[in-house]
Amino acid sequence: MGIVQKASIKLTVVSYLGAALGYLNRILLLTNFLSATQVGLISILITIVTLYAQFATFGIPNISARFFPFFFNKEKQHNGFFFWGNVFVFIGFLITTLFFLLFKPLIVRQYIDTSPLVVGYYYYVIPFALATIYFQFFDSYLRSLLKTVVPTFLNEVFSKILVSIAIALYALKWIDFGQFVIIYIGTSFLITFVLLVYIIYLKQFFIFRGQSRLYKRLLTPILHYGTFTILTSLGGSIILYIDTLMIASMLGLALSGIYTTISLIAAGLAFPYRSIQKITYPLVGRLWKNHDMKAVSDLYDKTTLVMMIVGGGIIILLWGNIDAIFRFIPKEYAIARYSFYLLCFARYFDMITGLNGIITVISKKYRYDLYFNFLLVLVTIVLNLILIPLYGITGAAWAAMIGPVFYNILRLAFVWYNFKMQPFTLNCLWTLLITIGTLAIIHFIPFVYNKYVSICVNSILGGIIYMGLIVLFRFSPEINNMLYKITGWKYLQSDKSAF
C-alpha cells in the first residue's frame, strides 16, 4: 500500500470522525439550542475569518507545498524556512488587521439593517483570525514534512469536542451566548498552541534565519508564486463563502444560518477529497520537481477514480436519507431542501474532477489558475446578485452550483490541452451509472416513519448495492486492495500496484 493510500486512509478516518462531531454540533446541537440568527452569526464569523486568513498568511501554506522540498534539510534547520515563514505570517496579520479596521464603516453599512448582530461582534474577528492564521501556518509546515494526521485530528476532532462542551454549557444555561462565542474562539487558540508543542516535540521548531544561497536563487519565484497564491486562495474562498455573506447582507442572519447549516451537510462530500489533497499536494510538488510526469498522470487517474467511487457512496447516503435528516432539525430549515441537492451536486463535481487544480498550481503555468479564479469570482458574484433577490437561498445554491461546474470544466480542459492528462476512464463512466442507478432504487423505497429505521434501511440497502457492484467488477484496484487488507478475502486482491 503506497504512501498516499496509507496516509489518506488515516486522514479520512480522522476527517469522518470530525465530520460526525461537526454534524452533532452544527446539525443537531446548534440548531436545537441556538436560534437560526445565532447560528448565522457563528457562520459569518467563521466566513470572515477564513477570508481574513487567506490574505494574512501571504500564501505561505501553498509556498510550503511548492518550495519546501528545495529547503528541506533538517541538519541545516531547513535553511531557515520556518523562521521566515513565521515572520511573513505575522506581518501579513498586522497588515490585514489594519485594513479590517479601516474598512469597518463600509462593512457596518452592509449589515447594520439586516444583520446587526454582526456589528456587535465585529472585533471578535481579530483574535479569532490570529489563532486561525497560525494554525494554518503550522499545519502547512507539518504537511510539508508529511506529518498530517495530528494537525487533522486537532482541527477536525479535538476542536469539535471542545465546541460540544461549550454548547452543553450554553444549553445548561451555565454561560450566556457572548461567553459561548468567546469559548468558541478560544478553542482555536488551544489547538494552535498544541500544534506548536507538537512541532517542538518533533524537533522541527527552528529559529535559525538561514544563510543559504537558495533564498537569492528562489526569492523572485517565491514572491511571484506567493502573490499568485494569495489572490488564488482569496478568490477560492470568495467563491465558497460569498453566498453566506450576501445572504446575511440581503436576507438576514437567520436565513444565512439555515443556508450554512444545509451547506455543511453537503460538505460531507469534501472530506475524503481534502484528505487526499493534503497528501498529494506536496507529493505532486516533489514529482514535478523530478520531472516525473508519468507518475503525476498515474496519480491523477487513480485519485480521480477513487474519489468518484467514494463520492458516489456519500451521495447515496446523503440523498437517500435527506427526509430523515430534516426530521432531526427544526422545521424552519426545510426551506433549504432544494439548496441541499444543488450544493451536493456542486461538491460532487468538484470532487470527481480530481487533481486538476493542484497540477495547474504546481506547474509553471500556475498563473492561469488565478485567471480562472478571477473569472469564477466574477461569475459567482453576478449570479448571486441576480438569483438571491429572485429565489432567496435557493438562488444562492444555484449560483454555488453553476460557478464551480463551469470552473472545473475549464481547468480540466486546460490540464488536458497543456499536459496531455485527463483522468476519466471507462471505469469512471461505469461508476457514475452505478451511482445513478442506486439512487433511483433508493428513491422508490417507501419512506419509513421512524427516522432511525429509515436511515438504517436506506444506508444498508444502498451500500450493499453500490459497493457490491463496485467491488464485484473491480473498477478500482486501490479500493479492492484496501478491502482485502481489512477482510483478507482473496477475491478482492488486485495485482495492480496501489498509489
Residue appearing with cell numbers 533538517: 74
3-state DSSP assignment of residue 172 = coil
Question: DSSP secondary structure string, 408-468?
Answer: HHHHHHHHHHHH------HHHHHHHHHHHHHHHHHHTSPPPSSHHHHHHHHHHHHHHHHHH
Q: What is the pLDDT of residues 331-353, one digit of tens each?
A: 888 898 899 999 999 888 888 88
Helix axis angle for 214-250 and 393-419, nearest 10°, is 150
3-state DSSP assignment of residue 475 = coil
Q: What is the pLDDT of residues 238-269, one digit of tens each?
A: 777 888 889 988 998 899 999 998 988 888 77
Q: Of 204-208, 214-218, 276-280, where does mean pLDDT reach its minimum?
A: 214-218
Question: How much is the pLDDT for 495?
Answer: 57
445: its cell numbers: 423505497
Residues with Cβ within 8 Å of 151's Cβ and at least 6 positions away in sequence, in order, are 135, 138, 139, 142, 143, 195, 198
Question: DSSP secondary structure string, 292-325?
Answer: -HHHHHHHHHHHHHHHHHHHHHHHHHHHHTHHHH
3-state DSSP assignment of residue 364 = coil
C-alpha 132, offset from chain centre: 15
b/e burial code for range 249-280 (CB count within 10 A of at least 16 → b): bbbbbbbbbbbbbbbbbbbbbbbbbbbbbbbb
pTM over 0.75: yes
b/e burial code for range 64-95 (CB count within 10 A of at least 16 → b): bbbbbebbeeeebbbbbbbbbbbebbbebbee
- Indicate the average pLDDT of the chain: 81
Question: How much is the pLDDT for 180?
Answer: 92
Question: How much is the pLDDT for 1?
Answer: 44
